[in-house]
Structures are given as structure tokens and as C-alpha cells.
Amino acid sequence: MPELEIKKEEVKTPPIMNVPKPIVQQTPTSSTNIIKKVIKEDEIDLYSININDIIVQIRIVTQEDKPVPQYIASITNISDTTRLILEKIRQEFVTRIDIEEMSKFEEAESTDIRTRFQNEIRKLLKRYFPRTDDKTTNMLINYLIEENLGLGKVEILLRDANLEEIVINNHVEAVWVYHRKHGWCHTNIKIPTEARIRHYSTMIGRDVGKEITTLNPLMDAHLATGDRVNATLMPISSKGNTITIRKFAADPWTITKFIQAGTISLEAAAFMWLGIQNELSILVAGGTGSGKTSTLNAISNFFPPNQRIISIEDTRELTLPSNLHWVPMETRLPNPEGKGGVTMLDLVVNSLRMRPDRIIVGEIRRKKEAEVLLEAAITGHSVYGTFHANNAEEVVMRMSNPPIDIPKQMLSALGLILVQNRNRRTGKRRTLQIAEITSSGDPNILMQLNPKKDVLTKINESKTTMETLELYTGMTKEEIDFDLKQKMQILQWMIKKKIEEVDAVGEVMANYYLGRLQLN
């Protein structure tokens, strides 16, 4: 009877070392001679994650022969010998139960299915490892369940809070990930077959009432955790079946994290706070992956707690402080019969009947959505949203020309435009521009990024914004400047006190608006 080899010691993350470690690759040049090639490797990050008591060590290394960092995941508390036996148990388990058929049961029966699987696996484990304690047995059950019912080793990537994107291109290539610190990385995880990738797509779609087939080879869906999923099937994606997962931020961005990361300057953050406090509508623009939604989430920290906020998204990505009067809403695609769909426009129109003070739209794409939102802004609602455009001038151009085709004069209801940018070479996300919209609908750029110095600099004086603030608040320009300096002091104090979590930031904002905030 084999002995179960489980490493009991606690896995401690050692300090990151930048000392090159050689990897020896053996390249045979003949039947008798072997030349050893040494490849330098630098370890740039090292940490561990716990998945149901399975300890996974993540190493990120750079290798001189690889163009991108390597993301290496390894389970540290299950030995290689034990893994071989677990694979034998898994194969025996698969022969006992038709997983493909069982996984088609309705969601209400999923708990019973999982219980049945756990019982079957427990019997097999007891046969192979009779002296295993309950805690270890449960850990191994979870390991085998995820290998059969879940997304296999992709589950490791889903549990890593440092990842933003997970990409499966086909079964030949290893899985790619986009890491918050290190950008695109190549992993050591591969999906064994194209059929397995298709099975994962089918399983994800079925959980949310979607289907992906040869006739319908494209699918947008989401996981129960809120992670967005796009899947394609061959031959539409000619190299193989694909799955792209954009992860929901478990630890959402806040304004203090943004400032500390250098994404936005202290002065710019204070200016956005001033605009939001005084109910100016704001559009966050930028290219794909520039951090538009994260920025929208960060500036939403400035909302006062005594106003009703309605957010509308295709998939929930925003996380606002819990002390806000916030109603999140999501669109819904029609079912395979073409029924039951709820569009962004449906929800925008409906939100106006819900007595909102502020309306947040995940992304503005179509003319009708833009028209309704701008009408809402003109009639006294504060409107916030994201929009695909690379700079402030492009926002106005795209908004005022087909297919959206909004009259330029109507754009003045927006108030401010904040443009985000991601440098694809360095991976850095930065606020590129902050602009106001003049009465003619043209942008007046107030602050712009100096890429060489990596500094957001003031390039023009505000006209429209200052006039609006003076009109509706009665403050003079000197009083507005003093207010901005006070906001900068509060933000600096929050950074010094390490107030970074979304609810903690929300509590500070609530105390500020109620006149209870004391800096100490």
C-alpha cells in the first residue's frame, strides 16, 4: 500500500532574490557528446496562494532566451509520487461516473452531484491511502473535484488576485496571463486537448444560460465570481478553441491606490473630487485595457453617501463603498430562442424612473444610449461612464460624428473628460489628459501627461468648469483654489494613514461630507 506524501510544513514566502540561477538544458549533438547550455534566470517575484488547503507557489522569472516573464505555478504540499497516484484515482473515478452527462444537470441539482462525487472520491482515496486524516482527505477531494468538475489548473490562475487576464489560445500553447505588476506572462499550464477547452466553454456557458456550438461559435458569458468570459470555437479561431477571462477585481482600485501607483497625480485627483462633489458629469475615455473601469471605480469613491446612485453594466465590475445608496444593475443577453434580453438602453431609460441622483454607465457604445444619458445630464442628473477613445479630441470627434452623431453643443452637458492610457511597452497605466467641454462642445485640455518625465502637468487654465462652480456654489476662484489644496491635504493624509480599502475610503468621504473629518 503506497504511503501518502503530503508536505505538512507551512509554506513561507522567501525574500525575492535577483541572483541569476542557471538552468541546464542538454542538447545532444551526437550519440556520444552532450553540450550543456546555461540559460540565466532571474526570479522577480515569489508568493503563495491557498486554494482549499492546497498550497500553490507562484514564481515569476525572466529568462534570457524568453521575450516575456515566465509564470510558474507549482503545488508544494502534494508530492510528485502522490500526484501520480491521484491521477490514477482520477482515471478510475472517470470510468465510474460519466462526468459529461452528470454536468448537464440543472443548477439546483449541482450540490447533490458534488456530494455524490465527493463520496465516490472519498471511497477511492480510503482504498489507496487508508491512514489519511480527514483534513488531508478533504484537501485531496477538492483537488480531484476541480480537476474533473472545475476548470482544472486554470482554477489556480482564477484564484491569483494579481492577475487581470487569463488567455487560452489553443491546446498547443501554454496559457497566457496578464499580471498586474509584470504584464503579459507565459505560464507553465497547458490544456491537454481542444476538446477540453471546448468542454470548459460549454460548462461556463451552461451555468449562465448560454450555449456555444459549431453554429454559434462565439460566446460572451461570466463566471459566478463576476469574471467576464469570451470563448470562440474552431474554425472561427483557426489555431484552436480560445477562452479569454477578464478577472473581476476582488480587491478594487481606490483613489489612494491610484495615487500611490502613480496612475493619477494628487492635484488631478483633488480636481476630480471637486468636480464630483459639485455634480459635474464625467466621461472616462481610453483604449482597450487602459484602465477605464478601474478609474471610474476610483473616482466613484468621491460620491456623497446621501445620494442615490444607479450603476448599469454588461457585467458587474464596479465595487463602490458599502455606505453608499447604490443600486447596481446588469444587462442580460437574450436566450437561445432570442427572448428575455435586457439592453443597456432599457436599463438607462428605466433608471430615470428610479429617482437617481447619479447614473453610472459601464460603457457608452450607441447613439441612443448617449442621447438618453446626455438628456439626463441636461435635466439635472450627474452622469458618469466610459467611452473608447484615445484622447479628448477623439472623444468629441467620435461623439459628434456617425454612428453616434450627437450635436457638439449637447456635449457641453458632460463637464469633464478624463483620458486613461496604457503604455504597451512598459505596461504602465497613466492619466493622459483631463479636459473640460466648452459651451461650443470643444475640449479644453487642462492637464496632460509628459511621457518623458512621467508627470501630469497643467497646460491650460480652466474656463467653463470654474465659471460653473462659481455660478452654482458662489465660491470665488481663491476659495476654489483653497478647497483644492484642502482636498490634496486630505488625500495625502489618507495615503499616510494607509487608508486604501474601498469601505475605509468611503468612510472618510462620508465623514468629510458630514463635516466630521478630523486629520490626526
Structural contact between residues 89 and 81, judged by C-beta atoms closer than 8 angstroms: no
Listed by start position, the domains of the chain span 255-513
Q: Give the pLDDT mean for 210-226.
A: 88
- Of the spans 109-123, 247-261, 487-501, which averages the highest pLDDT? 487-501
Is a pLDDT exceeding 80 seen at residue 64?
A: yes
Into which CATH architecture does domain 255-513 fall? 3-Layer(aba) Sandwich (3.40)
Report the alpha-carbon distance of residue 295 to residue 420 in Å, rounded.
8
Average pLDDT over all residues of the chain = 85
164-196 confidence digits (pLDDT tens): 999 999 999 999 999 988 999 999 999 999 999
Report helix angle 266-277 to 477-496, nearest 10.
Answer: 120
Q: Give the pLDDT mean for 411-434.
A: 91
Helix (H, G, I), strand (E, B) or coil at 303: coil
Continuous segment of H or E residues that includes residue 34: strand 34-39
Q: Give the pLDDT mean for 39-48.
A: 89
Comparing CA positions, the residue from 202, 193, 198 lying closest to residue 171 is 193
Report the alpha-carbon distance of residue 147 to residue 381 in Å, rounded.
50
Is a pLDDT exceeding 70 seen at residue 19?
A: no
For residue 3, the cross-strand partners are none
C-beta atoms surrounding 389 within 10 Å:
20
pLDDT band at 428 (very low <50, low <70, confident <90, very high): confident
pLDDT at residue 91 in the model = 72
Structural contact between residues 361 and 318, judged by C-beta atoms closer than 8 angstroms: no
Q: Is 319 exposed, middle or buried (0-12, 13-18, 19+ CB in 10 A)?
A: buried
pLDDT band at 271 (very low <50, low <70, confident <90, very high): very high
Helices (H), 300-417: 344-351, 367-378, 392-400
Structural contact between residues 149 and 97, judged by C-beta atoms closer than 8 angstroms: no
Percent with pLDDT over 90 in the chain: 58
Report the alpha-carbon distance of residue 129 to residue 131 in Å, rounded.
6
pLDDT at residue 12 in the model = 45
Continuous segment of H or E residues that includes residue 138: helix 134-148
Q: For residues 100-118, b (16+ Cβ closer than 10 Å) or e, as one string?
A: eebbeeeeeeeeebeeebb
Question: Higher model confidence: residue 426 or residue 325?
Answer: 325
For residue 177, the cross-strand partners are 166, 185
295-310 confidence digits (pLDDT tens): 999 999 999 999 999 9
CA distances from 303 to 10, 297, 377 (A): 43, 11, 16
C-beta atoms surrounding 1 within 10 Å:
8
413-423 confidence digits (pLDDT tens): 999 999 999 98
Report the alpha-carbon distance of residue 35 to residue 167 in Å, rounded.
36
Q: Average the pLDDT over each of 188-202, 214-228, 272-286, 383-397 and give the range with the smallest value.
A: 214-228
pLDDT at residue 112 in the model = 57
Is the backbone of residue 297 left (phi > 0), alpha (psi -120 to 50) or beta? alpha
Report the alpha-carbon distance of residue 502 to residue 509 in Å, rounded.
11
Is a pLDDT exceeding 70 seen at residue 79?
A: no
CA angle 220, 221, 227 (to 5 degrees): 120
Is a pLDDT exceeding 70 seen at residue 369?
A: yes
- Contacts of residue 479, defined as CB under 8 A and 6 or more positions apart, other chains included, come to none
pLDDT band at 133 (very low <50, low <70, confident <90, very high): confident
